[in-house]
């Protein structure tokens, strides 16, 4: 393997990792608060892709992006309100099945509305401009993805650490019932969490699909699962953990494919998960939790 | 009081015998008229393959409270083992036409019931291995790890490195079907009866104790890990057998058959039938598989009185199914049967209560929290 | 909450009731039409159309169905002995899925069709083949190119060429154009893609070419950069990437983005305008082999077909470019009714025997089946994309 190829593959891996990280944060936030694997998160990401196609058909890209982000946030909050809120006091398994149900519904709905054939993702001219650095060739979005990811994560950490609503989120994730007793409006905080997660999924979707150019009803399912694994590896509930996990998966996967083991690129993610669960179930950044009796 | 009880018992016995006789009669009828009912038979066979898997998932999810999403993976193991062991030796060269067959398995052919058994055992052994790290963790990790595991299995099956065993991307064909319907339905019934016996044994009671309260169960002296592992392994065994049955039903398989969507189908059946009810899963699988066939017209354009109904087009059927799943999850969490089993007493009681049901619905919200 | 529950229950039961009603309605209407036909003294023979209309291959399957429907419009009846039989098409959707394919095939069997046409996609054809041969119903494949479809199956025929031939054609094309280094990309778990890839490899190496890289990807994978990075490093002259129309635009666009300038080539599946739509300007210059080209009709039947089918496409709101698979669908129908005529009977085994001896002038050329049931085709059309449309490049034939 020569240097150019190595650098090219590194760039691919980091860019993929950035997109994974943005989605993984959504999982981590929701799991931190509701102890729920939001299986529908990957499909929210897919729907954001379709929103962009329809928005771009009418508006220029700088109008479309905010529209898509708002639509994605609304979708995320709507799902929380209709599918998860009624089950607050239900057993955890029911909530998880509900999440799978939403994911199944979104995929089938997308197949029904937009057909199973892939749709071309609209090009944002600035992002698609191709740059060349001594043999390495990539579009701007590839370079930009990790940068945007880092900036957004920084902003998110500020939000959680230094604002009132951030404090509420932390309180709810620490102890659900006590937070309620302390006068925190649980439902509103949870909705806000879903809104933040969906917003990041929306940004991730724009970056991911601009780089990959087609959307189809199942394009969210596998990235979704992988990002959940990324969140687990980083330590579920920890935002820096999700980012690190995202990059580990993105780079690891690319390295594996580059070495000629593309067959196992998906399997790699899950093997990593099982290894992690064996040696450190709380993940890299996770705190040790003991179950209350 | 005593008298009614014995008469009821007698009545139930008679009804049971009658029901079994009707079933056998139906199968005999289908067997002798198979040429006219191929479509119905094939739908029924498919429903029965799913039934075995659904009941085994229920054993794990409904009775032990463990949520696994690895059904497609274990089915794949069962299906591939069964297929590899039963494809007639003489037609193997034409099946493995690309890279040839590995000499280890080239001449290995066993009767199909042995193959099904080995397929189930293979799934069980692999389940035991995954269970060791994963079952010690909280239940959501089991879901995600098993889901991941089923993806790993699929990747391994389609890997070109194993072309000489699994025939990789090209799939396996020429898998012999069932000699007759009795054998097929007999195997399905045997699997389900075995699982019911297990659920009603002392093991089953330990499983239920774990489902209700892990910590209480542990303090009662139940070895949590031991019983969880046992339930997981047994469930995977029957899932593997179900996969083998599916392979014999389909006659040709490839890795694409065993995608996550297959697991979701099974989950839909279990949820609809009622988590924790074997008869619920049995009814659920018949309802879902037949429903899918009957509701095919949802996918076709429909004109009512000359007006084209815009809703009806390709994909609508699956939307209806997913909405159904959501409605069941959100509003009828008990599903068809809840955690109760079908019984004649229950059926007659239901009929008796029918008039009052429409008058006043009793709220039976008795779900436990967390 | 309780009201909501009731409302939901009511809504659900109403949906189901409406569904049942509609189901009864549609089934009664179809049985009504069949009954009407027989009561009118007309005899009916059923031909099954076994095609994917949804799923991965839904688009291609639909094009094939269009060809068959058009053929049915041109030849609505067939003469069996002295009697004129009306042909009724029974369409089933196999959803590009093997499990669904089994049920769909069984549905055709229980509908008692005399011949089956299809399918697009070899996997589903292989899955259904055993059921057709068990029921002794002859099937005529339109564009399923994998050798396994007809091999060892006495009841499966096909009107198109095979993957070994197609692979050889593309290898020849590469060699003729001075392309000596090839990279191959195939889809894991897909018999069409993996099969065609390996036949291309064999043929290309036999011609003295060098395979510099072989890569695989997963079903539903959308990111090909890592694979293409390796390929770029291996620096091939041609990339052979047989794949479904879902993946094709991704491979093409990402290859160009990475600055790969090699020719990108594939098989018959790529002749679909979705690819040009999705890949845009990057699709220019891709090369593919296909069964048919409308600019050079092989015979009188072909000339009429080009004219008539374009009107048919317009009436069905489709683009007025004739897809090769539609032509094959047409040919399979033509072959079927010729065989029914030759057999002089509606008996399925008699039709099968007639098919073995049959010679048909189809729109894609002469159709005559060999001992495997494959049409002896010796010519393929190579096409490229120029100015956003498929353009005929050359024909290639291979001595067999």
Q: What H or E segment, with its residue span, contains residue C107?
A: helix C98-110
- Average pLDDT estimate for C94-107: 87
Candidates B157, B256, B327; nearest CB to C219: B256
Length of chain B: 370
- Strand-pair partners of C181: C210
- Whether A5 has its CB under 8 Å from any CB of chain C: the answer is yes
What tens digit of pLDDT does each residue of C16-47 get?
444 444 444 333 333 333 333 444 567 899 99
Q: Exposed, middle or buried: residue B273 (CB in 10 Å: 0-12, 13-18, 19+)?
A: buried
- Let me know if residue C364 belongs to a domain: yes
What tens digit of pLDDT does each residue of C133-153 get?
989 999 999 988 888 889 888
Give the orientation angle of helix B139-158 with respect to helix B112-134, to 10 degrees. Answer: 130
Q: Interior CA angle at A239 toward A234 and A245, to 5°?
A: 30
Cβ A139–C280 below 8 Å, yes or no? no
- Whether B365 has its CB under 8 Å from any CB of chain A: the answer is no
Q: What H or E segment, with its residue span, contains residue B341?
A: none
Contacts of A86 in chain B (CB under 8 A): 330
Parallel/antiparallel/unpaired status of strands C263-266 and C238-240: parallel
Q: How far from C223 is each of B333, C239, C240, CA to CA, in Å?
A: 39, 17, 17
Contact B192/B278 with Cβ under 8 angstroms? yes
Q: CATH number of the domain that C345 lies in?
A: 3.40.50.2300
Contacts of C187 in chain B (CB under 8 A): 169
ipTM attached to this prediction: 0.84
Q: How far apart are CA C252 and CA C228, in angstroms?
A: 10
- Let me know if residue C15 belongs to a domain: no
What is the pLDDT of chain C when averaged over all its residues? Answer: 84
Contacts of C253 in chain A (CB under 8 A): 213
pLDDT above 60 (res C2): no
Contacts of B34 in chain C (CB under 8 A): none
- Whether B325 has its CB under 8 Å from any CB of chain C: the answer is no
Give the orientation angle of helix B139-158 with respect to helix B260-273, to 10 degrees. Answer: 140
- Average pLDDT estimate for C340-367: 90
Q: What H or E segment, with its residue span, contains residue B289?
A: helix B278-294
Q: Which residue has the higher pLDDT, B117 or A281?
A: B117
> Which residue, C50, C247, C27, C372, is CA-closest to B302?
C27
- Whether B257 has its CB under 8 Å from any CB of chain C: the answer is yes
C288 confidence band (pLDDT: 50, 70, 90): very high
Phi, psi (degrees; rounded to nearest 5) at A282: -85, 0
Which span out of A42-56, A200-214, C38-52 was modeled with the highest average pLDDT? A42-56
- 3-state helix vs strand vs coil in chain B, percent to 5: 75, 0, 25
Q: What H or E segment, with its residue span, contains residue B13?
A: helix B2-32
State the pLDDT at residue A92.
Answer: 82
State the pLDDT at residue A189.
Answer: 92
Q: Which DSSP string do the residues of C344-384 spell out, in sequence order? A: TS--HHHHHHHHHH-EEEETTEEEEB-TTSBB---EEEEEE
- Let me know if residue C196 belongs to a domain: yes
Q: What is the 3-state secondary structure (H, E, C) of chain A?
A: CCHHHHHHHHHHHHHHHHHHHHHHHHHHHHHHHHCCCCCCHHHHHHHHHHHHHHHHHHCCHHHHHHHHHHHHHHHHHHHHHHHHHHHCCCCHHHHHHHHHHHHHHHHHHHHHHHCCCCEECCCCHHHHCEEEECCEEEEHHHHHHHHHHHHHHHHHHHHHHHCHHHHHHHHHHHCHHHHHHCCCCHHHHHHHHHHHHHHHHHHHHHHHHHHHCEECCCCCHHHHHHHHHHHHHHCCCCHHHHHHHHHHHHHHHHHHHHCCCHHHHHHHHHHHHHHHHHHCCCCCCCCCCCCCC
- Whether A293 has its CB under 8 Å from any CB of chain B: the answer is yes
Q: How far apart are CA C95 and CA C38, in angstroms?
A: 31
CB-side neighbour CA atoms (13 Å) of B260: 22
Candidates C5, C19, C198; nearest CB to B298: C19
Contact A24/A35 with Cβ under 8 angstroms? no
Non-local (6+) Cβ contacts of A173 within 8 A are A32, A33, A237
Cβ B315–A266 below 8 Å, yes or no? no
- Strand-pair partners of A136: A133
State the pLDDT at residue C31.
Answer: 35
Contacts of C217 in chain A (CB under 8 A): 262
What tens digit of pLDDT does each residue of B309-364 get?
666 777 788 888 888 888 888 888 888 887 778 888 888 877 777 666 555 444 44
What tens digit of pLDDT does each residue of C206-223 get?
999 999 999 988 877 888
Which of A39, A94, A101 to substitute to test the interface with B, most B CBs within 10 Å? A101
Q: How far apart are CA C214 and CA A94, in angstroms?
A: 45
DSSP C266: E
Contact C140/C115 with Cβ under 8 angstroms? yes
Give the orientation angle of helix B181-200 with respect to helix B224-250, to 10 degrees. Answer: 170
- Let me know if residue C31 belongs to a domain: no
Residue of A nearest to B365 (CA): A90
Q: Are residues C393 and C274 in the same domain?
A: yes
What is the pLDDT of chain A when averaged over all its residues? Answer: 88
Q: Exposed, middle or buried: residue C31 (CB in 10 Å: 0-12, 13-18, 19+)?
A: exposed
Q: Exposed, middle or buried: residue A5 (CB in 10 Å: 0-12, 13-18, 19+)?
A: middle
Cβ B141–A232 below 8 Å, yes or no? yes
Candidates C216, C226, C233; nearest CB to A2: C233
Residue of B nearest to A99 (CA): B326
Write out the two tokens for C254: 């990402």
- Whether A108 has its CB under 8 Å from any CB of chain C: the answer is no
**What tens-digit pLDDT sequence spans chain B (370 residues)?**
566 667 888 888 899 899 999 999 999 999 888 888 888 898 999 999 999 999 999 999 999 989 899 999 999 999 999 999 999 998 888 888 878 888 888 888 999 999 999 999 999 999 999 888 888 877 778 888 888 888 889 888 888 888 888 888 788 888 998 888 999 999 999 999 999 999 999 999 999 999 888 889 989 888 999 999 999 999 999 999 999 999 999 998 988 889 888 998 899 899 999 888 999 999 999 999 998 888 777 766 666 666 666 667 777 888 888 888 888 888 888 888 877 788 888 888 777 776 665 554 444 444 443 3
Q: How far apart are CA B1 and CA B13, in angstroms?
A: 18
Which of C25, C46, C188, C348 to substitute to test the interface with B, most B CBs within 10 Å? C188
- Average pLDDT estimate for A16-38: 90
Task: Read off the pTM.
Answer: 0.86
Cβ A213–C278 below 8 Å, yes or no? yes
Q: Which of A55-69, A255-269, B69-83 has the lowest mean pLDDT?
A: A255-269
Contact A220/A212 with Cβ under 8 angstroms? no
- Average pLDDT estimate for C166-173: 92
- Strand-pair partners of A215: A119
Candidates C229, C246, C274; nearest CB to A12: C229
Contacts of A130 in chain C (CB under 8 A): 257, 259
- Please tell me the total count of domains within chain C: 2
Contacts of C189 in chain B (CB under 8 A): 154, 157-158, 168-169, 254-256
- Let me know if residue C311 belongs to a domain: yes
Candidates C54, C232, C250; nearest CB to A214: C250
Q: Which residue has the higher pLDDT, A13 or B344?
A: A13
A88 confidence band (pLDDT: 50, 70, 90): confident
> Which residue, B287, B285, B325, B341, is CA-closest to B57?
B285
Q: Are residues C193 and C220 in the same domain?
A: yes
- Let me know if residue C35 belongs to a domain: no
State the pLDDT at residue C30.
Answer: 37
- Average pLDDT estimate for A191-207: 94
Q: Interior CA angle at B277 toward B275 and B281, to 5°?
A: 80
Contacts of C26 in chain B (CB under 8 A): 297, 300, 302
State the pLDDT at residue A83.
Answer: 92
Chains that touch A (3 or more CB pairs under 8 A): B, C
Kindly provide the residue ranges of all beta strands, DSSP E only, lying in B234-365, ordered along the sequence. 302-304, 307-309
Q: What is the 3-state secondary structure (H, E, C) of C142-169?
A: CCCCCHHHCCCCCCEEECCCCHHHHHHH
- Whether A96 has its CB under 8 Å from any CB of chain B: the answer is yes
State the pLDDT at residue B357.
Answer: 55
CA distance C203 to chain A (A): 23
Give the orientation angle of helix A265-279 with respect to helix A221-234, to 10 degrees. Answer: 30
State the pLDDT at residue C202.
Answer: 93
CA distance C197 to chain A (A): 16
CA distance C219 to chain B (A): 8
pLDDT above 70 (res C127): yes
Q: Exposed, middle or buried: residue C207 (CB in 10 Å: 0-12, 13-18, 19+)?
A: middle
Residue of B nearest to C52 (CA): B314
Residue of A nearest to B129 (CA): A274
Q: Are residues C239 and C321 in the same domain?
A: no
Boundaries of every domain in chain A: 20-220
Phi, psi (degrees; rounded to nearest 5) at A165: -65, -35
- Let me know if residue C17 belongs to a domain: no
The range of the structural domain enclosing residue C198 comes to: 164-290+381-397
Q: Which DSSP string do the residues of B128-143 spell out, in sequence order? A: HHHHHHHTTS-HHHHH
Residue of B nearest to A263 (CA): B159
Candidates B249, B293, B295; nearest CB to C19: B295
Task: Please state whether C229 falls in left (phi above 0), alpha (psi between -120 and 50) or beta.
Answer: alpha
CB-side neighbour CA atoms (13 Å) of A111: 25
- Whether A289 has its CB under 8 Å from any CB of chain B: the answer is no
Q: Is C76 helix (H, G, I), strand (E, B) or coil?
A: coil
Q: Which residue has the higher pLDDT, B27 or C318?
A: B27
Which span out of A142-146, A242-246, C316-320 was modeled with the highest average pLDDT? A242-246
Cis previous bond, A248, omega within 30: no
State the pLDDT at residue B340.
Answer: 79
State the pLDDT at residue C20.
Answer: 43
Cβ A109–B322 below 8 Å, yes or no? yes
Q: Are residues C279 and C305 in the same domain?
A: no
Contact A284/A233 with Cβ under 8 angstroms? yes
Q: How far apart are CA C385 and CA C390, in angstroms?
A: 4
- Let me know if residue C20 belongs to a domain: no
Q: How far apart are CA C264 and CA C258, in angstroms?
A: 14
CA distance B20 to chain C (A): 27
Non-local (6+) Cβ contacts of B290 within 8 A are B43, B47
Q: Are residues C304 and C236 in the same domain?
A: no
- Whether A16 has its CB under 8 Å from any CB of chain C: the answer is yes
- Whether A260 has its CB under 8 Å from any CB of chain C: the answer is yes
pLDDT above 90 (res A82): yes
Q: How far apart are CA B24 and CA B30, in angstroms?
A: 10
> Which residue, B235, C229, B188, is CA-closest to A258?
C229
Q: How far apart are CA A103 and CA A99, in angstroms?
A: 6
């Amino acid at each position: 393997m020569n240097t150019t190829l190595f650098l090219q593959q590194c760039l691919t891996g980091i860019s993929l990792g950035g997109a994974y990280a943005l989605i993984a944060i959504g999982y981590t936030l929701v799991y931190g608060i509701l102890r729920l694997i939001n299986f529908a998160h990957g499909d929210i990401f897919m729907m954001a892709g379709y929103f962009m196609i329809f928005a771009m058909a009418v508006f220029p890209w700088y109008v479309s992006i905010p529209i898509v982000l708002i639509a994605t946030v609304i979708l995320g909050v709507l799902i929380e309100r209709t599918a998860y809120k009624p089950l607050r006091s239900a057993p955890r398994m029911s909530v998880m099945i509900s999440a799978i149900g939403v994911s199944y519904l979104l995929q089938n709905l997308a197949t029904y509305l937009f057909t199973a054939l892939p749709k071309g993702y609209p090009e944002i001219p600035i992002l698609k401009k191709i740059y060349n650095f001594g043999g390495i060739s990539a579009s701007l979005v590839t370079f930009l993805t990790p940068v945007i990811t880092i900036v957004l994560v920084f902003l998110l950490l500020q939000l959680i650490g230094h604002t009132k609503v951030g404090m509420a989120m932390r309180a709810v994730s620490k102890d659900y019932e006590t937070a309620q007793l302390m006068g925190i409006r649980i439902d509103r905080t949870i909705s806000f969490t879903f809104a933040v997660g969906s917003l990041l999924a929306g940004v991730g979707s724009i970056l991911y699909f601009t780089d990959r150019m087609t959307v189809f009803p199942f394009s969210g399912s596998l990235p979704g699962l992988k990002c959940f694994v990324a969140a687990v590896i980083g330590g579920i509930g920890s935002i820096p953990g999700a980012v690190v996990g995202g990059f580990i998966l993105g780079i690891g996967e690319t390295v594996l494919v580059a070495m000629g083991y593309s067959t196992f690129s998906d399997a790699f993610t899950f093997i990593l998960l099982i290894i992690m669960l064996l040696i450190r179930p709380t993940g890299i950044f996770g705190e040790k939790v003991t179950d209350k009796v | 009081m005593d008298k009614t009880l014995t008469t009821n018992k007698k009545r139930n016995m008679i009804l049971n015998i009658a029901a079994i006789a009707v079933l056998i009669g139906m199968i005999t009828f289908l067997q002798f008229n198979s040429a006219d009912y191929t479509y119905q038979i094939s739908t029924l066979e498919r429903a029965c393959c799913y039934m075995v898997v659904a009941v085994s998932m229920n054993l794990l999810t409904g009775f032990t409270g463990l949520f696994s999403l690895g059904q497609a993976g274990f089915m794949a193991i069962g299906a591939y083992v069964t297929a590899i062991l039963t494809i007639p030796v003489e037609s193997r060269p034409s099946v493995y036409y690309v890279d040839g067959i590995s000499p280890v398995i080239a001449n290995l052919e066993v009767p199909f019931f042995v193959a099904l058994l080995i397929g189930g055992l293979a799934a069980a052994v692999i389940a035991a291995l995954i269970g060791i790290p994963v079952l010690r963790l909280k239940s959501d990790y089991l879901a995600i790890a098993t889901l991941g595991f089923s993806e790993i299995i699929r990747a391994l099956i389609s890997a070109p490195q194993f072309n000489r065993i699994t025939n990789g991307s090209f799939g396996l064909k020429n898998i012999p079907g069932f000699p007759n319907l009795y054998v097929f339905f007999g195997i399905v019934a045997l699997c389900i009866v075995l699982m019911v016996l297990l659920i009603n044994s002392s093991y089953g009671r330990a499983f239920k104790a774990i489902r209700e309260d892990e910590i209480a169960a542990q303090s009662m002296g139940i070895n949590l890990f031991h019983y969880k592992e046992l339930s997981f392994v047994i469930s995977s065994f029957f899932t593997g057998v179900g996969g083998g049955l599916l392979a014999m039903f389909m006659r040709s398989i490839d890795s694409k058959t065993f995608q996550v969507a297959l697991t979701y189908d099974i989950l839909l059946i279990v949820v609809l039938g009622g988590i924790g009810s074997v008869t619920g899963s049995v009814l659920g699988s018949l309802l879902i598989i037949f429903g899918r066939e009957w509701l095919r017209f949802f996918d076709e354009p429909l004109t009512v009185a000359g007006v084209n109904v815009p809703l009806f087009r390709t994909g609508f059927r699956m939307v209806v199914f997913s909405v159904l799943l959501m409605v069941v999850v959100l509003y009828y969490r008990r599903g068809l049967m809840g955690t109760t089993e079908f019984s004649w007493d229950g059926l007659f009681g239901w009929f008796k209560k029918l008039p009052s049901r429409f008058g006043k619905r009793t709220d039976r919200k008795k779900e436990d929290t967390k | 909450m309780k009201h909501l529950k009731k409302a939901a229950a009511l809504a659900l039961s109403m949906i189901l009731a409406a569904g049942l009603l509609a189901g009864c309605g549609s089934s009664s209407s179809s049985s009504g039409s069949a009954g009407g036909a027989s009561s009118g003294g007309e005899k009916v023979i059923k031909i099954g159309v076994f095609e994917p209309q949804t799923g991965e291959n839904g688009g291609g399957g639909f094009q094939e169905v269009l060809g068959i429907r058009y053929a049915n419009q041109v030849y609505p009846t067939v003469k069996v002995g002295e009697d004129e039989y009306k042909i009724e098409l029974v369409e089933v959707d196999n959803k590009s899925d093997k499990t669904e394919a089994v049920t769909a095939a069984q549905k055709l069997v229980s509908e008692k069709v005399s011949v089956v046409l299809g399918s697009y996609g070899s996997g589903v054809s292989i899955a259904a083949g055993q059921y057709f041969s068990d029921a002794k119903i002859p099937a005529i494949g339109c564009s399923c190119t994998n050798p396994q479809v007809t091999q060892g199956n006495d009841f499966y025929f096909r009107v198109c060429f095979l993957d070994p031939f197609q692979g050889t054609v593309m290898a020849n094309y590469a060699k003729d154009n001075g392309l000596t280094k090839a990279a191959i990309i195939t889809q894991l778990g897909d018999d069409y893609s993996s099969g065609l890839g390996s036949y291309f490899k064999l043929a290309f190496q036999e011609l003295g070419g060098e395979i510099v890289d072989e890569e695989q990807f997963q079903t539903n994978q959308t990111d090909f950069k890592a694979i293409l990075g390796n390929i770029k490093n291996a620096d091939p002259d041609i990339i052979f990437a047989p794949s479904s129309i879902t993946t094709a635009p991704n491979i093409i666009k990402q290859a160009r983005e990475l600055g790969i300038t090699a020719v990108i080539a594939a098989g018959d599946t790529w002749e679909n305008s979705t690819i040009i739509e999705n890949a845009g300007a990057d699709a220019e210059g891709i090369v593919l082999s296909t069964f048919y080209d409308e600019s050079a009709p092989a015979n009188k039947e072909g000339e009429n077909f080009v004219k008539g089918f374009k009107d048919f496409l317009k009436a069905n709101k489709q683009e007025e470019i004739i897809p090769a698979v539609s032509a094959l669908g047409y040919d399979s129908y033509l072959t079927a009714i010729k065989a029914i005529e030759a057999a002089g009977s509606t008996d399925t085994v008699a039709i099968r025997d007639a098919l073995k001896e049959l010679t048909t002038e189809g729109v894609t050329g002469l159709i005559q089946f060999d001992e495997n049931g494959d049409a002896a085709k010796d010519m393929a059309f190579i096409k490229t994309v120029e100015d956003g449309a498929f353009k005929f490049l050359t024909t290639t034939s291979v001595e067999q």
